């Protein structure tokens, strides 16, 4: 790790956290409908959600099918999410419209930056690392970083939509390397989504680090794992 020159970060779920999570709000609502789930079911559904939003074949299919029907997309997503919780297809189909409506009305998370982030980023910048944010957002997000008081730490930011492909496609990371002017094995990528961030950065030859504060992926292969950004200093020794 002592040859690392650049550290790239994911945005959503890494530098920018939503609390409570959508999965937590969903399960709490389903419990009011007298549905109960094991911890194994809950974790499986959370991992599935990460997979789905990692530019999966499922979301690509759904985006095309419901390209002019946002409400239909989220009803369909709710059905998929309920089936990931191991409800039957018929039960998921029946519940999906009301679940989607509830989530639309009730899911109003607070956004925050992990407490240690400003200190860690300041230390990394002072140590001479090139720092950047590479996100699967469709459009640039400079204003959002400004609102989070993070802009000053980063040398550049990149939205995958600017490249025209999305993580885990290695081309997103190759484009970031062209901007950073570093080699892949000199560049660390940190993200919370194993399927998008770790699979993608690993395929591009970067050094992948999974940010996993809730231990969602306890046996994640092909990467280092941290629960707190304070652990980065130990990795970089």
pLDDT at position 159 is: 98
CA distance 205 to 143: 30
Q: Domain boundaries in the chain?
A: 6-17+111-235, 21-106
pTM, entire model: 0.95
Over residues 138-144, mean pLDDT: 96
Tokens of 2: 């002592």
Residue 235 buriedness (CB in 10 A; 0-12 / 13-18 / 19+): middle
Tokens of 167: 């993580």
Tokens of 73: 């997309």
How is domain 6-17+111-235 classified at the CATH fold level?
Rossmann fold (3.40.50)
The answer to whether residues 62 and 19 touch, using CB atoms and an 8 Å cutoff, is: no
Please state, as a whole number, how many other Cβ atoms lie within 10 Å of the Cβ of residue 129.
Answer: 18
Q: pLDDT tens digit string along 45-54?
A: 999 999 999 9
Q: pLDDT tens digit string along 61-74?
A: 999 999 999 999 99
Over residues 204-229, mean pLDDT: 96
């Amino acid at each position: 790790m002592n040859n690392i020159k650049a550290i790239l970060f994911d945005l959503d779920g890494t530098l920018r956290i939503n609390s409570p999570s959508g999965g937590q709000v969903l399960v709490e609502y389903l419990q009011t409908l007298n549905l109960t789930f094991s911890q194994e079911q809950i974790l499986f559904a959370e991992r599935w959600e990460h997979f789905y939003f990692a530019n999966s074949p499922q979301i690509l299919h759904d985006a095309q099918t419901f390209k002019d029907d946002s409400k239909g997309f989220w009803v369909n997503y709710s059905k998929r999410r309920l089936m990931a919780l191991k409800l039957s297809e018929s039960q998921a189909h029946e519940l999906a419209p009301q679940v989607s409506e509830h989530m639309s009305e009730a899911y109003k998370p607070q956004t925050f930056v992990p407490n240690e982030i400003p200190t860690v980023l300041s230390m990394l910048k002072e140590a001479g690392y090139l720092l950047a944010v590479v996100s699967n957002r469709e459009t640039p997000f400079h204003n959002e970083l400004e609102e989070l008081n993070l802009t000053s730490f980063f040398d550049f930011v990149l939205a995958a939509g600017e490249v025209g492909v999305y993580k885990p496609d290695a081309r997103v990371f190759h484009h970031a390397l062209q901007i950073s002017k570093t080699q892949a094995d000199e560049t660390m990528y940190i993200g919370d989504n194993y399927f998008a961030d770790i699979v993608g950065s690993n395929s591009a030859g970067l050094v992948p680090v999974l940010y996993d504060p809730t231990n969602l992926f306890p046996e994640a292969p092909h990467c280092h794992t941290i629960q707190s950004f304070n652990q980065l200093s130990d990795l970089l020794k």
